[in-house]
Chain A
Amino acid sequence: MTQYAHPEILVDTDWVKQNLGKPGIKLVEVDVDTKAYDAGHIRGSVGFNWQSQLQDQVRRDIISKQEFEKLMSDAGVSPSDTVILYGDNNNWFASYAFWLFKMYGHKDVRLMNGGRVKWLNESDKELTTEPTKITPTQYRASDPDLSLRALLPEVLKVQAEKRHNLVDVRSPDEYSGKVIAPPGMTETAQRGGHIPGAKSIPWSTAANADGTFKSADELRKIYLEDKGVDAKKDTIAYCRIGERSSHTWVVLKYLLGLSNVKNYDGSWTEYGSIVGAPIEK
């Protein structure tokens, strides 16, 4: 059995339990359901709200370097800390936060494999509503590493050249254009369908029933053999708003070790609204 390319980016729930409260280890919960943290969280964790804290509140963008530094400082995180991210929905937004931490150069950031559901369903794991005591820091981030992020001009160029892997991680109905977004979602696009040439590999194909990532062998078979992602080519993953594709970005870049993988966080809400952009249904 082969190993993940970067097994160090994952920790399991038992590891987290054993290391709770140790100096230099910071837990951060990021959920789709922004109420979940207040209902109960792992002792000592801080909660980030993806809507109000992980994206710019004026223009559509990730938070700036200054905003990231303030978020980290207020959360008591130091650049030398090991940050463990976890969240609901198989770590969708925890993966998005992971991508953001990598963008701003945080050295040691990891995901709790299986996310909050796995923790919740294990009888020896506790949750609390106790607020976490925070000692603010003076965090300094790096400039964003743009090699991890695809922006629209690059996506349009890539789809025209057809030399990249484009991976659409949304549900089959979103890929086919039957629906523009999952039911009830407010962030949507003008048109349904997918970027021409994109392969449909729903994010959930990478997940086991308990929410953990599938094994390296299974992932290799799914992505490289069955779905034909070419490991020698550069890759861009996208979804609707960039959170599910962060999950797949983690799989491709860190678990399978592909060399150049970017997350297109503009995703379908951007691409599907551009006048004249080619769409396949």
Chain B
Amino acid sequence: MNHQTRVYENVFEMMPDEDNPTPLVRVNRLNPNADFPLYAKLEWMNPFGSVKDRAAWFLLRDLEERGELSDGRGLVEPTSGNTGISLAGMARARGHHMLAIVPNKVPFEKKVLLKIAGADLDIVSDELCPAPGLGDGSINLAKTYAKAQGHKYVMPNQYENPKNVEAHLKTTGPEIWKQTGGRVTHLFTSLGTCGTVTGIGQYLREKNPKIKIIAVQPTEGHDVPGLRNVSQLSVSRLFDPSLVDEILEIDFNHAYTRALELCQNEGLIAGPSSGLILEGALQIAARDKSGFGVMIFPDNIFKYTSNMIKHIPELKPQDAKVEIP
């Protein structure tokens, strides 16, 4: 393994840490405030294309080390896409099978990608008319597989497993601190399983208790894949409100318009959740006047062409004869 020449013996040697961080790139044209630079942490530069590589790698290695994946036992996990792609890709590369329980609202491209990554899919209809506190149908179905067919499946459970937090405590947090030379004053991230915000938050708070941890969430009724509104957070046990200074609620349409602006003005091929985070960061930069912001950009735009067309119809090619799924 050589990070200088970038020659690796297998894909797992590329996994990020302090010595091999994902890039931090400044946003220039979209941020007019010179006293508040905003840097995007490009998590799509991870081997399987998203921030979820970090949690997936920690979850998988933990299961392997504890002998949970012997005798042909594989993984079952509820996933909105990225965790599944990372877990499936990694699991298959290490000889394990994986069943992904996927909510039907997950974009078409992600479902195909999960299959390409090597996952078997079970698609469930979620959010019919949800009751508070009961959790998603996909989580319950995954738990059912793990409970009834324990000889075949083990469930990493990204929503409850502390390894998800540890991944960010041991990699993302130290990377940000080292890359910014300790200058970071604001961290902007989204909420999903909350492993990212809790892990980075714990690390940065310990380094500098004054750092502001700001979570950005889409307005209720949103369709931004992978994100949760606070009303949906009860499914995650990893959310620690004491580590979050503010939760900004941002109109979810910004996720799509800002993602397009990032691509067309900054050369950053960022996905919708990154767009939402940028909008939140720009609002805080305008309010707080000076600072040094780091934004976690979870993945790139390539999985979201159908979502983008839905929100920005002029992206639809003129010769598109059929409805894009």
Contacts and interface: CB of A to CB of B under 8 A. Distances in A.
A127 B148 contact: yes
A117 B140 contact: yes
Interface string A65-98: 0000000000000000000000011100000000
Q: Of A39, A88, A116, A202, which is in contact with the most chain B CB atoms at under 10 Å from its CB? A: A39
B144 A185 contact: no
Q: How large is the interface on B (under 10, 10 to 19, 20 to 34, 35 or more residues)?
A: 20 to 34
Contact of A209 (B129, B132, B147): B132
A211 interface: yes
B133 interface: yes
B220 to A, nearest CB: 11
Contacts, number: 76
A88 B130 CA distance: 11
Interface stretch (B120-128, B204-212, B278-286): B120-128
Secondary structure of the A contact surface, majority rule: loop
Given A33-B124, A35-B124, A39-B141, A244 B129 contact: yes
Contact of B144 (A36, A171, A203, A244): A36
Contacts of B137: 32-33, 88-89
Q: Is the interface of B mostly helix, strand, loop or mixed?
A: loop
A184 B130 CA distance: 13
B145 A40 contact: yes
A127 B146 CA distance: 9
Contacts of A182: 127-129
Contacts of B135: 117
Given A182-B129, A183-B105, A184-B104, A35 B141 contact: yes
B44 to A, nearest CB: 28
Contacts of B132: 204, 209
Nearest to A114: B134
A53 interface: no
Interface in A120-179: 120-121, 126-129, 170-171
Given A88-B140, A184-B128, A210-B133, 16 more contacts: A32-B137, A33-B125, A33-B141, A35-B122, A39-B148, A40-B144, A40-B147, A89-B131, A89-B137, A120-B140, A126-B148, A127-B147, A129-B149, A171-B129, A184-B125, A207-B131
The 10 closest A-B pairs by CB, nearest first: A40-B148, A209-B133, A127-B148, A204-B131, A40-B144, A39-B144, A127-B147, A182-B128, A182-B129, A171-B129
Interface of B: 104-105, 122, 124-125, 127-135, 137, 140-141, 143-145, 147-149
